[in-house]
Amino acid sequence: MPTTDTRPGGAVDVRGLRKTYGGRDVVDGLDLQATAGTVTAVLGPNGAGKTTTVECCEGLRSPDGGTVRVLGLDPVTDAAALRPRVGVMLQDGGLPTGVRAMEMLRHVARMYAAPRDVDGLAERLGLPAFGRTTVRRLSGGQRQRLALAAAVVGRPEVVFLDEPSAGMDPQSRHAVWDLVRELRADGVAVVLTTHLMDEAEDLADVVHVVDHGRVIASGNVPDLLSDGTAGRSPRLRFGARPGLPVAVLATHLDDAAPDGGWTVTEDEPGEYVVTGPVHPTTLTALTTWLARHDVLATRITVGRRTLEDVFLDLTGRHLR
Ligand SMILES: Nc1ncnc2c1ncn2[C@@H]1O[C@H](COP(=O)(O)OP(=O)(O)OP(=O)(O)O)[C@@H](O)[C@H]1O
């Protein structure tokens, strides 16, 4: 049954988590809370420590420091008590490879007291199309969908999903996202790791942005996206030949639109971002400067700030 967990820290409560490999802290004092009826995303680049963190929550790894509680219990020492209450979808599927897909799901369902309707769940995740195929012959995306079904078939109170839509086609991805939203509506605490900003933006109630084993920003998506003065305005991006004098351009924009306090950065060779309160005259000022310097922009776009921008602002690096 979904939890109505109201304990301080919520259904998942991680404080000061530390995990060291070969003398290197891959998780370095990480705090994370997740509550019932919410989707909590752990967003960060490859190697940030997301999988290690959720594996500590799943009882698959022992922390080297800090505390981890899931439904008030210790995932390692209370593993048996937590098993029927927690659903886990591992990044590599973690499934036995020699059995047929639907056989495996039915077998998992039988281990729970009140499982979901297996056929209904399988149908909505598109499993019948490969139900008689052995797990080892499934594609990565098929394996992911089967692993998700296995994680939720027992009606868990807490679900951990590690990169749930990795390797999936858009249709499957949306089926997964719909299921995650339904779990939330049923009161489940869903924790997902992802390096896909659109997955975090579309699905999550709360996002923890992780880098180098630490949470560097947390909050709901609108709050994260409106963080700071520049964040309240859209981002102006353009493509042009690499190596433009960005400081000179910023000064020109300042002269043309003095309310700005503009910054212009070349994020990647030939990819520019203009930060400041963009309005119609900013575009005129930009194109005038480009024309004067005989620069043909290949593309100019104005769009809202994204979680990718949040990460870039905080770290100076892209998420991927
Ligand atoms: N068993 C291990 N032994 C040594 N190093 C490890 C081990 N497991 C993970 N690491 C290292 O710890 C760091 C964090 O890995 P982790 O898988 O938690 O990151 P992640 O954020 O989930 O990244 P990804 O999205 O690539 O899975 C990486 O540098 C990884 O190489």
Residue 54 near residue 75 (C-beta atoms within 8 A)? no
- Per-residue pLDDT reduced to its tens digit, 121-160: 999 999 999 999 999 999 988 999 999 999 999 999 999 9
CA 243, CA 69: separation in Å to the nearest integer?
A: 50
Cα–ligand 1 centroid distance for 213 (angstroms) = 10
ipTM of the complex: 0.94
Cα–ligand 1 centroid distance for 129 (angstroms) = 33
Element (H, E) at 146: helix 140-152
Question: What is the identity of the amino acid at 131?
Answer: G
Cα–ligand 1 centroid distance for 47 (angstroms) = 5
pLDDT at 2: 47
**% the chain with pLDDT above 70:** 94
Cα–ligand 1 centroid distance for 51 (angstroms) = 7
- Per-residue pLDDT reduced to its tens digit, 252-278: 998 887 677 788 989 889 999 888 888
Please tell me the residue having the least CA distance from ligand 1 atom 7: 21
Q: What are the strands of the beta sheet with 299-303, ordered from one edge?
A: 263-268, 271-275, 235-239, 299-303
Please give the backbone phi and psi of residue 86, each rounded to the nearest 5 degrees, phi first.
Answer: -125, 130
Please tell me the residue having the least CA distance from ligand 1 atom 28: 47
Task: Look at 120 and 165; give whichever has higher pLDDT.
Answer: 120
| Ordered domains of the chain (ranges, CATH) | 12-223 (3.40.50.300), 230-304 (3.30.70)
**Ligand 1 atom closest to 163 (CA):** 25
In this structure, what DSSP letter does residue 60 have?
S
Please tell me the residue having the least CA distance from ligand 1 atom 3: 21
pLDDT at 168: 87
**Ligand 1 atom closest to 51 (CA):** 22
pTM above 0.80, yes or no: yes
- Give the pLDDT band of residue 178 (cuts 50, 70, 90): very high
Mean pLDDT of 1-24: 77
Percent of the chain that is helix, strand, coil (3-state, to 5) = 35, 25, 40
Please tell me the residue having the least CA distance from ligand 1 atom 18: 49
- Per-residue pLDDT reduced to its tens digit, 77-88: 999 999 999 999
24 lines ligand 1 (CB under 6 A): no
- Give the pLDDT band of residue 307 (cuts 50, 70, 90): confident
